[in-house]
């Protein structure tokens, strides 16, 4: 299957971000949701972005903010993409930022909602760059450690790239990729030693497992 992108979300220090990049992560997530244990204010977030290698994308996670405000913050910090939680497509244009709406899914109705969202955004001429599917936990927005419903997501095509999140770990990400076949995977709590503190060994193991799962099987050499 094609290359699977990896985002290490909820990084809180420049050191954690650099370690994720060195391990092979394609993106790191910076959380601007005040209720999250991984919450960042602009000053430490800027320090993280400044320390990233050139081809590792910083992505901001925002909750309850108008897209216009989200894009203003992204511009000030030099973010590449923005992840938001919206019930319907925003009226504002996110360009030049890659917009990734996130959805907490617990049943088939959640998948129908994603399809309608993508169709409505496309009709407006602003399809999302990708959609992120996370697990549904009452009152929580991401980073819960609970798995998304992989059985529902197997074969699901929202019409744009699919990023799988929710309960992923170094031990199960290969299985998730094999079953769901996402464009990318996103992990936060599954590679931490404590909330907001990444474990370098777990991060490296997660990236290796995700990349290996996407590689085509090599034919055995004749003996």
Domains of the chain: 5-214 (3.20.20.70)
Q: What is the mean pLDDT of residues 98-126?
A: 95
Q: What is the pLDDT, as a whole number, of residue 104?
A: 92
For residue 222, pLDDT beyond 80: no
Answer yes or no: is pLDDT of 119 > 60: yes
Known catalytic membership, residue 9? yes
**SS3 category, 208:** helix
pLDDT value of residue 41 = 96
Mean pLDDT of 36-46: 96
| 184 has pLDDT over 80 | yes
Mean pLDDT of 166-179: 96
Strands (E), 125-218: 131-135, 162-164, 184-187, 192-194, 197-198
Residue range 149-164, pLDDT digits in tens: 899 999 999 999 999 9
pLDDT in tens, 122-146: 999 999 999 999 986 655 555 456 7
Catalytic residue among 9, 16, 26, 71: 9
Lowest mean pLDDT among 1-5, 45-49, 71-75, 103-107: 1-5
Given this model, what pLDDT does residue 135 score?
84
pLDDT higher than 60, residue 176: yes
Interval 160-177 mean pLDDT: 96
pLDDT number for residue 1: 58
- Alpha-carbon distance of 89 to 141, in angstroms, equals 18
| Rg, C-alpha atoms of the chain | 17
pLDDT digits (tens, 9 = 90+) for 51-70: 999 999 999 999 999 999 99
Q: Of 16, 26, 134, 186, which is the active-site residue?
A: 134
pLDDT score at 3:
86
β-strands 5-9, 27-31: how paired?
A: parallel
123 included as an active-site residue: no
């Amino acid at each position: 299957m094609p290359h699977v992108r990896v985002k290490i979300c909820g990084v809180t220090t420049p050191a954690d971000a650099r370690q994720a990049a060195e391990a092979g992560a394609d993106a790191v997530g910076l959380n601007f949701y005040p209720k999250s244990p991984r919450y960042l204010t602009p000053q430490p977030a800027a320090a993280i972005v400044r320390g990233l290698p050139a081809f590792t994308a910083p992505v901001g996670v925002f909750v309850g903010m108008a897209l216009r405000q989200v894009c203003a913050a992204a511009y000030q910090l030099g973010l590449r993409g923005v992840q938001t939680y919206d019930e319907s497509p925003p009226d504002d244009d996110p360009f030049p930022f890659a917009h990734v709406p996130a959805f907490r899914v617990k049943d088939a109705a959640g998948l129908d909602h994603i399809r309608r969202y993508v169709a409505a955004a496309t009709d407006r001429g602003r399809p999302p760059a990708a959609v992120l599917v996370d697990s549904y936990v009452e009152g929580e927005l991401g980073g819960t450690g609970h798995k998304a419903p992989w059985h529902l997501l197997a074969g699901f095509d929202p019409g744009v790239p699919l990023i799988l999140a929710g309960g992923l770990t170094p031990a199960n990400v290969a299985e998730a990729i094999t079953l769901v076949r996402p464009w990318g995977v996103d992990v936060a709590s599954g590679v931490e030693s404590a909330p907001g503190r990444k474990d370098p060994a777990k991060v490296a193991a997660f990236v290796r497992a995700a990349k290996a799962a996407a590689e085509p099987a090599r034919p055995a050499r004749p003996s």
